[in-house]
Amino acid sequence: MQHTMYLEVLGCLSEKGFSLDELVVKTKEVFEQDGMAGFVALLLMLTDADLYQRIVIQKKAKEYGGNCCDSPCYEAHDRRPRQFRTSIGTVRICWQRLRCRCCGRVFTPLRDFMGLDRHQSKSRELEKLVVEIVSEQSYRRSSSHLELIGEIPVPKSTAHRWVMDSDCDELSFEGTKLQQLFIDGTGFKRRPDPVKDLSNRGEVRAAFGVTSQGDVVPLGAWTQASWQEIGTELREKAGSVLPLADILVSDGELGLAEGLAGLTNDQQRCHWHLMRDLDFYLMPFKMPLEKRREKQRELAGIIGIELPKEDFALVPDEEKNAIEESPYGIGESSQKRKEKGVNREKD
């Protein structure tokens, strides 16, 4: 399909004078808002007319998607106005709809020819542009950025709806073996809903992994899911790759550890939370505040000890047996001493 097209421009100039800047700005607006969008609309109308010629006149319905019955025979039905929001402006057309004389099916050749959805009102390239800009800044700034710089008026509510309707937030990591799994939650204030029994205390929970090559793999973010539901979802996404990671790094919350049980081979509690939460664990024993702070400082000192590799060696089995038989144990095994909570100082 080849056509020769000409551009005809009608200009109305003020007789009282105008500046060069005004002329440049207005000309730019005409060509960006009407010129390029109108040019695309013209190409679409030519394509629509060519499809009508091939399907109705040349009887090539089956070659262009007309498979409603064994012997389709289409005729002109009506024209419907349609418009599409794009990065070059709004493209407005009136495409032809055809009707089969045999079965009565209504067929839109141009829509099927271009692979458009039934109620699509925007181009995919505009949706991709909006999602890319929103991923770097807020919806409000993205809307202003599109309108001021790109001259694409997309309200923030519309951009938010496009992002939520897209599949850009779907994360797939099936087949990815992770070395560490990091997961945590942080609180925020939300609007309470007495009907749904929701208070103003919300929590955002996020998870990501790190591979052995140091690559970060996002796993997901949740606002109304429990740790048990998050663990179930991660197991389903992991598929056959279980355990998902070698080490789970978290703050040691009980619900978190229980909900993610079985996803990793081992777990490492955050040292900062370990020292901080010691204060809460000692409160039921009615230990004075100063004593609790002293225990926290002692624990921080133990955690902070780092021995160089050349300064320690494995203890031989003979020395282990001698330690087991020492008077400190009084013939008891190390396991029994651990159960009784007997701690010995180590040099």
Map residue 336 onto helix, strand or coil.
helix
Residue with tokens 């009907």: 195
Q: Which pLDDT belongs to residue 331?
A: 43
Residues of the chain falling short of pLDDT 70: 1, 3, 5-7, 9, 14-15, 32-33, 150, 168-175, 305-313, 326-347
Classified as helix, coil or strand, 210 is strand
Domain ranges of the chain: 23-121, 126-165, 178-190+199-303, 312-339
| pLDDT for res 347 | 44
* Residues 229, 23: Cα–Cα separation, whole Å: 61
What is the reported pTM? 0.51
Rounded Cα gap, residues 236 and 233, in angstroms: 5
The predicted pLDDT at position 308 comes to: 63
Q: What is the CA radius of gyration of the chain?
A: 34
- Cβ(68)–Cβ(106) under 8 Å? no
* Residues 178/234, Cβ–Cβ less than 8 Å: no
CA 258, CA 234: separation in Å to the nearest integer?
A: 14
Tens of pLDDT, residue by residue over 77-98, are: 889 899 998 888 888 889 999 8
Model confidence pLDDT, tens digit, residues 163-216 = 887 776 666 666 677 889 999 888 888 888 888 777 888 888 999 889 888 888
pLDDT at 81: 92
Closest Cα to residue 74, out of 91, 57, 49? Answer: 57
- Asked, as a colleague might, if the bond just before 194 is cis with ω within 30 of 0, I would say no
Strands 264-269 and 245-250: parallel
pLDDT at 264: 87
Closest CA to 181 of 257, 252, 244: 244
Q: How far apart, in Å, do the first and last CA atoms of the chain sit?
A: 88
| CB-based burial label for 52 (10 Å; 0-12, 13-18, 19+) | middle
pLDDT value of residue 169: 62
Q: Residue 38 and residue 35: Cα distance in Å, rounded?
A: 5
CA gap 100, 293 in Å, rounded: 84
